[in-house]
Amino acid sequence: MSEPLEAFELEQLASGTFRPTVSTNAWVVAAADPSPRLDIAWDAEQTIREIVLHFDTDFDHAMETAQWGHPEDVMPFCVRDYVLRDADGKELHRCSGNHQTVNRIRFAEPVCTRGLSLELTHPSAQVPAALFGIRIY
In the chain, the domains with their CATH numbers are: 10-60+72-136 (2.60.120.260)
pTM exceeds 0.75, yes or no: yes
* pLDDT (0 to 100) of residue 69: 65
> Longest Cα pair distance anywhere in the chain, in angstroms?
53
> pLDDT for 9-29, tens place per residue?
667 677 777 676 666 678 888
